[in-house]
Structures are given as C-alpha cells and as structure tokens.
Amino acid sequence: MAARRTTKTVAKTAAGKTGAGKTAAGKTGAGKTAAGKTGAGKTAAGKTAAGKTGTGKTAAGRSGRRLRSQGQATRAKLLEAGVVALADKGYAACRVDDVVRTAGVSHGTFYLYFANMQALFRALADQCAADTEALAESLGPVPSGDDGRDVLRVWLAGFLHLYRRYGVVIRAWSEGQVRDGRLARRGAAAFATMATTLGARMVERPGADTGQNGQDLRPAALVGMLERFAYAVTARDAGFEDEAVLDTLATIVHRGFFRRPGGDDR
C-alpha cells in the first residue's frame, strides 16, 4: 500500500512539472509573439519615419528650387541695374554703390552674386557678346533690290536695340577701355562674327577695297560705321526719331554695300 501511494505521488508530481513546463513554454511563445509585435511596431515606426524623411526631402527640394529661382531673379535685377548705372556713370567711374542704389538692394546682396564691379561687368560683357553673335547669325540673304533694303531695316532695328542695351559695354570694347584680356578677346570675337556675316551677304564688287593681304575691308568698315552711328543716335539726345533713323540707315547701307553696281537688282 505504501508503495502504491508513493508511485501515485511521484506520478502527480511529474505531471505537475510537465504542466508547468507547458505553461512555461506557453509563456515563452507568448513572449515571442510579444517580441514579434514589438518588432513589427519598430518596423512600422521605421516606415513612418522614412516616409516623414522622404517628405522632408521633397519639401527641401521645392524650397531649394524656390531659392534658386529667387537667386536668379536677384542676379538678373543686379545686371539690369548695372546696365543703367554704367550708362549713367560710364565704365571707368561706375561703382558698386551706384548699382545697389539703382537696384534697391544692400551691398551684402550684391556681394552674394558678384565679387566686385569687374565681375558684374564681365557677366554683362558675356551677355552682350552672346546677343551680338545671335544678332549677326540672324541676318539672312540680302537681295539687291528694294526688298533687300527692307531686310536690312529689320536687322538694323535689332542692332539699335542691342546698342541701347549694351552701348557702354560695346564702347568699352571699341575704345580699348577693357583691360581684362579675356573680355577684350570675347568682344573682338563677337564683332568679328558680325563682320564675317555681313561680308558673306555683300555682293561681289570688282575692285573692292582690300588690305595688304587681299582681305575685303568693307565688312570691317560697315561694323565701325554702324557702331559710331548707333552711339551718335542712342547715347546723345539728338532728337532723331527711330523710324527716320532706320529708313536713312537702311538706304545708305543697302546702296553702299549690298546693291549691285549699275542698278542691277537681280
């Protein structure tokens, strides 16, 4: 009897331990589940944070584009003010004070975009050279007849517009005021392009004036004449009306450089 009781007691104890083991295993499984949930929470939080970060990057990109756009507008405003101030004071006398006063900005704003007046003038000169080359290339064939005069008149209107905008830059080039070698070469190249284009449109003339190396001097003579004439008309208040100026200039240039000898308009 005692042996049976002992056996039953041991069995119950073993079963209890086994149940406890199951319970512990259950708890362990629950712990794993909880850990899984915690991991999922971290993952979800990570995704949310990443989403917020992506949104922040997008907002920063938009803000950067706005700042770049505003910066370009401010730089353009300073260049426009530079044109006005240089025309008023002249190349040698114009100062940063004149530009910021015209633009209505601070000195600090000026120095965000240009190191000094030379840097601003360099930017204007590059613009002028590019616009000069574009104008030169815009001239198509110039017929010898009256329709050729009309073609020239349109092109000369563009030249006067160019000179009104960049006259101070062009005069600094033509009068040898620019000491910066790169800028001087840039200006010379731009007007050489204009002379070459004009020369290609001129009619062949027997006995045309040439230099010692046989080059046709008419294109250079025409560019020099146009520059000085534009200066006389735009830089001084001579009271001439543009329509009369263009009519006269187109007639002179066409007859002198583009009309065939003997009135042959073919």
Q: Quick: pLDDT tens for 8-26.
A: 443 444 444 444 444 433 4
- pLDDT of res. 33: 43
Are 148 and 62 within one domain? no
| Within-domain flag for 4 | no
| Within-domain flag for 206 | yes
Strands, E, within 55-155: which ranges? none
The whole-model pTM stands at: 0.69
Say what angle helices 146-174 and 218-234 make with each other, to 10 degrees.
80
Are 143 and 178 within one domain? yes
Provide the CATH number for the domain around residue 102: 1.10.10.60
Are 108 and 126 within one domain? no
- pLDDT of res. 60: 53
For 228, the enclosing helix (H) or strand (E) is helix 218-234
- pLDDT of res. 128: 94
Average pLDDT in the 161-169 region? 92
Are 191 and 253 within one domain? yes
- Expressed as residue numbers, the domain containing 155 is 117-263
| Within-domain flag for 149 | yes
For 164, the enclosing helix (H) or strand (E) is helix 146-174
Decide if pLDDT at 188 tops 80.
yes
- pLDDT of res. 4: 43
| Within-domain flag for 11 | no
pLDDT digits (tens, 9 = 90+) for 34-71: 444 444 444 444 444 444 455 555 555 555 565 587 88
Are 155 and 60 within one domain? no
- pLDDT of res. 51: 47
Average pLDDT in the 259-266 region? 63
